[in-house]
Structure 1
Amino acid sequence: MGNCQAVDAAALVIQHPTGKIERMYCPILASEIMKLNPGHYVSLIIPLPVAAAATTAAADEKTVRFTRVKLLRPNDTLVLGRAYRLVTTQDVMKVLRAKKYAKMKKKQQQQEAAEMSEEKLQADAEEHSSSSQVLKPGNSDSEKAVKNEIRQRRGGGLTITAAAGSRSKSWRPSLDSITESGS
């Protein structure tokens, strides 16, 4: 009459796809398990913690524990006290194809979103350019009037009198409310 649980903790467990459970009592390489079970990969079973709300709500019902599976390399060592699962090559290929498809779909959605935002930017730019055509050089008489007004403001209100024949370019302050005329 020994302690059975001590023996279980000192064993590694391998679950087969058929449901068969195999126990080993010494560390072993994954490549050896793969040789014994051709067409299978060895994966580590990582249990994920169950949320406290889910455990209390489903206390009477059968609780489903979610696990994560990590494929092991052939040179990885299976450690005592852990649970491992054999996964068929077909299952691995299905998962890889599904991941590849999901990645392609995500990339396609990102491209579509980028194209839509680019189209929106182009539409905004076109709208902006059509509304600002009045300000582009050589477009209309109103623009020429704006340029003349700017020139007058820069000139500082100077007036050149042809009668005096002087072409004085000295700076004098100008006030918009007072008209300055010939000196």
Structure 2
Amino acid sequence: MNKLFLFVVAALLFSSGSNAQNPFELGAEYLRPIGKGYNSAKAAIRGESFNNKSSYSAGITYQLASKKAYSVSRGFGVYFGYRYAFSNKLNGNSPFAGARILFSLENFEGQTTNNSLLITPWAEVGYHLIFAKRFYAAPAIGYGYTKKMSKDYNSLNEDDGGRIIPSLSAGYRIKR
């Protein structure tokens, strides 16, 4: 986990240093993947670096256990994403479309001690809002597909499949 954390921090620092004149956002995000027998929640710490009409993001997620899902799981993940803004205002509100890919390691409680690797690519649309020049919020809705890459026999078939992924991120904007 320490190597994963160091990699994400290094990626965020590299992306922030490469665009020294453009804003950088640091905040938290709540994701709620919903699909075929699958209902969970993820909390994330995220960073996003902007240039003209696009941005790159990276984050670390934590899978919160869901009592509604058939198999309860916990775990960490990392995602990388790209967003395209339909406005070229770096300092204003803007609709966006983008894509992300999430690599998550989930442990199904009471059933296995091994983590299962799940990969979820998804496309999203949303609206980026700026408050008081320094704070932001970005509600979004996405659709993706989760594919389980690890072989195990300890969970049901709810792990693979399509997902509707509503999300809300908020945090602080750093202008450089």
The question of a shared fold, defined as TM-score above 0.5 by the shorter chain, is answered with no
More strand by share: 2
Where relative contact order (Cα < 8 A, 6+ residues apart) is larger, the structure is 2
Looking at secondary structure, tell me which structure has more helix per residue: 1
Structure showing greater radius of gyration is: 1
**TM-score of the superposition, structure 2-length normalised?**
0.22
